[in-house]
Amino acid sequence: MKIGFIGLGIMGKPMAANLATAGHELVVLDRNADVVDEVVDGGATTLATPAEIAAAVDMVITMVPDSPQVREVALGEGGLIEGAKEGLLYADMSSINPIVSQEVAQALGAKGVRMVDAPVSGGEPKAIDGTLAVMVGGAKDDFDEMKPVLDAMASSVTYVGPIGAGNIAKVANQVVVALNIAAVAEAFTLAQKAGVDPAMVYEAIRGGLAGSTVMDAKGPMMLEGNTKPGFRINLHIKDLNNALATSHEVGVPLPLTAAVREMMTALAVDGHEASDHSALVCYYEKLADTQVRAGGAQE
């Protein structure tokens, strides 16, 4: 299939690479010209605007930071809506406000474009090895048609419900991940301050009920002091903002989510906005005047 892929960041670039490996013909676009050149050198082509891409392909995928960028790519000047032909498939794989997914789908639908919202979970490592989890909202027939393409980037592709349902699932996912990371950081800091090696605590509890995929992915990073981003603090703040906005719309208090969002905001102010979200441990280290990673008290 000829696929337009717009957004070649930490997640988008390896996702596009997996589509190319699966044999799809790619037409790519990103604001970073160097990244576009790199992907084109690997065999893709590029066009100047989303509208031009929409006119040239069978399916478009976007992987951009947030709701405003999706609106711009889909509905703005030179956007998909200007070049799309009737029947075009469009999967927005960004993590955005579910209400915006519904609004964009309605506008594109008037032009005959079939849209699903298909946000992902798994971070950069799973984007690279093609084992992302994808949660999809939209018409079931459109999901069935797109699923083979999504399978090339993921090990789990799940239909959740109508348009917007994918992003409802994603904000729920991000709530669970954020709270889990905070709990791991809190527990490790407690162990360190109480004089017990957090690495030994990790080994002792990871096989029991406290164990989780999040703990196994982020616990070792905390212990190593590794804040290289697989998923950045500023992006997780965006996702929790979307979770809180959605919760306010439907009348569901999210007190723990709000608390962790403020922790992440404090980290961003402290210079960690581009750090991995496992850097939540730095928030606790500062509060407790200690250091979880090997080496003792915080510098």
Cβ atoms of 5 and 28 closer than 8 Å: yes
d(CA 174, CA 254): 12
Q: Is 238 a catalytic residue?
A: no
The residue from 13, 111, 126, 170 that is catalytic is: 170
Beta-sheet pairing, 132-137 with 120-121 = antiparallel
Cβ atoms of 267 and 279 closer than 8 Å: yes
Cβ atoms of 285 and 292 closer than 8 Å: yes
Using CA atoms of 74, 77, 78, 81 in order, give the dihedral in degrees to the nearest 10.
Answer: 40
State the catalytic residues: 170
